[in-house]
């Protein structure tokens, strides 16, 4: 079995090669290691191998890990799961990035609850690019621009771009088409909000098409930490 360090190395190599294939600079795409359901020791292993960006889906689990690893001061923690309004304070207090923002109510709470001694929370707006009923996210660009304007007015949030999770079960061509639509939406956003520099799309199974379409951050769980147990998604 491969170690976490070996898997990180091969994931980074693949990302670099994919960048080359589409004529992007090799460091164009950031790697977020998605450590949900995985133990603290796995995160330490990845950290020791040089990984600094980590993503968590569940508030309670994420906060426990952040606190247990607070000696690793240069980790950047990304919240990537659905967020209910009664849990915003924990995210505002402990995380550096929030990738799944899709309503103004949550944005305002995060803004109000962000501690004064921390830099603004870096946020991505989640787009429901496949119009999947079971996924959160905005459905069209009118909604997107309205929310982006409102977020831009909040001093403790910094709008950095977009995130999406395509529906499962798409074939290769459909997947690529969805990612290309996301890239167009992102380019439109960037034209109005130049600080938006991050397009978070691509997971272990589809990062190839995501990078081809212009992703700037892939979120890899299985490819780095191995399969998750069936009990947890
Ligand atoms: C679990 C998860 C990932 C990682 O998925 P893998 O297929 O294991 O790479 C990425 N993004 C989000 C939002 C997730 O919930």
Residue 233 lies in a domain: no
What confidence score (pLDDT) does residue 142 get? 86
For ligand 1, whether the C-beta of 203 sits within 6 Å is yes
| CB of 143 closer than 8 Å to CB of 125 | no
> Total domain count for the chain?
1
CATH code: domain of residue 22: 3.20.20.10
Reported pTM: 0.95
Q: Which residues pair with 178 in a beta bridge?
A: none
53: nearest Cα among 215, 213, 233, 200: 200
Residue 200 lies in a domain: yes
Residue 230 lies in a domain: no
Average pLDDT, the chain: 94
Residue 16 lies in a domain: yes
Residue 51 lies in a domain: yes
Domain of residue 42 covers: 4-225
Q: Could you identify the atom of ligand 1 that is nearest to the CA of residue 165?
A: 13
Report, as an integer, the average pLDDT of 182-190.
Answer: 96
CA of 80 to the centre of ligand 1 (A): 9
Pocket test for ligand 1, best of 219, 220, 230 (most atoms within 8 A of CB): 219
Residue 217 lies in a domain: yes
Distance between CA 157 and CA 173 in Å, rounded? 36
Instruction: Give the tokens for residue 178.
Output: 């969805």
Residue 183 lies in a domain: yes
């Amino acid at each position: 079995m491969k170690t976490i360090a070996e898997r990180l190395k091969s994931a980074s190599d693949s990302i670099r090669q994919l960048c080359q294939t589409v004529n992007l600079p090799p460091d164009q795409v950031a790697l977020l290691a998605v450590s949900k359901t995985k133990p603290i020791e796995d995160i330490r292993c990845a950290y020791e191998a040089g990984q600094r960006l980590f993503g968590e889906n569940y508030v309670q689990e994420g906060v426990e890990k952040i606190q247990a690893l607070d000696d690793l001061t240069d980790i950047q923690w990304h919240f990537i799961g659905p967020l209910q309004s009664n849990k915003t304070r924990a995210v505002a207090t402990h995380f550096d990035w929030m990738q799944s923002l899709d309503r103004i109510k949550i944005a305002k709470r995060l803004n109000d609850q962000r501690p004064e001694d921390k830099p603004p929370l870096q946020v991505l707006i989640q787009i429901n690019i496949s119009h999947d009923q079971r996924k959160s996210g905005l459905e069209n660009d009118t909604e997107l621009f309205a929310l982006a304007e409102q977020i831009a007015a909040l001093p403790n949030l910094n709008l950095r771009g977009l995130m999406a999770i395509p529906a499962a079960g798409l074939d290769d061509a459909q997947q690529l088409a969805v990612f290309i639509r996301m890239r167009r939406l992102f380019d439109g956003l960037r034209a109005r909000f130049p600080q938006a520099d991050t397009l978070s799309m691509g997971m272990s199974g589809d990062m190839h098409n995501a990078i081809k379409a212009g992703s700037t951050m892939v979120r890899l769980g299985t490819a780095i930490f191995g399969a998750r147990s069936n009990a947890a998604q």
